[in-house]
Amino acid sequence: MKVIIFASGSGSTFQYLVDNRRGFDVIALFCNRKNVKVIDRAIEAGIPVYYVDKEGKWKSELEKLSPDYILLAGYLGIVPEDVVDRFPRRILNIHPSLLPKFSGKGYYGEHVHRAVLEAGEKESGCTLHLVDGGIDTGEILAQEKVPVYPEDTPETLAERVQAVEKPLYLKGFLSYGGIECER
């Protein structure tokens, strides 16, 4: 099974997926930022890198590669509607909240965790979902909850969420993709 990962930052989720792949090959990284660590990680792993330009030239490369799935891993961009339509139910994303809470434009990374704390939530977590035409509105595939403690900061909450996020992504994707996974 051929997988393409879209990422924009440090690439810790990208690295986790690459390091723990079984039953699928990561055939490319598509990145919409230059000089970010995820690019170095891809090059070190021997995975080709494609730049997601504003003009959309990257779409022809995506089409040529013909992936079975696209995984968004810390991708800070909106997947264009024509790409979502081209790969229906085959684009997955992990979001750092329990959707539908704390979702949509502007809710990513620390912004999500700060909003969770400001709202006085007792639990948070992450959600694996399909990508559709909206922002964080696709069908929910799996969620993992973590407690929110009174002394939490956005950083401590982020650490707790990230600890469950990567394993949930891998396990949920393997299950969704019909790949046999170890229990």
Of 52, 87, 122, the position where a domain reaches its end is: 87
Q: Long-range CB contacts (< 8 A, 24+ apart) of 106-109? A: 107/136, 108/76, 109/158
Same domain, 181 and 160: yes
Q: Which tens digits make up the pLDDT trace of 64-117? A: 999 999 999 999 999 999 999 999 999 999 999 999 999 998 898 899 999 999
Same domain, 36 and 61: yes
Phi, psi of 135 (to 5 degrees): -105, 110
Point out the residues of the chain with pLDDT beneath 50.
Answer: 183
Q: Long-range CB contacts (< 8 A, 24+ apart) of 86-90? A: 89/130
Q: Which helix (H) or strand (E) holds 7?
A: strand 2-7
Phi, psi of 89 (to 5 degrees): 60, 20
- CA proximity to 113, closest of 78, 143, 72, 146: 146
Please tell me the predicted confidence (pLDDT) of residue 180.
Answer: 66
Catalytic residue positions, numbered: 95
Q: Which domain holds residue 15?
A: 1-87
Same domain, 12 and 30: yes
CA separation for the pair 133, 82 (Å, rounded): 9
Please tell me the predicted confidence (pLDDT) of residue 55.
Answer: 93
Cα separations in angstroms, 138 against 78, 89, 96, 99, 173: 13, 9, 14, 10, 15
Q: Which helix (H) or strand (E) holds 64?
A: helix 58-65
Domain count, the chain: 2
Of 60, 87, 114, the position where a domain reaches its end is: 87
Please tell me the predicted confidence (pLDDT) of residue 13.
Answer: 95
Cis preceding linkage at 100, omega within 30: yes
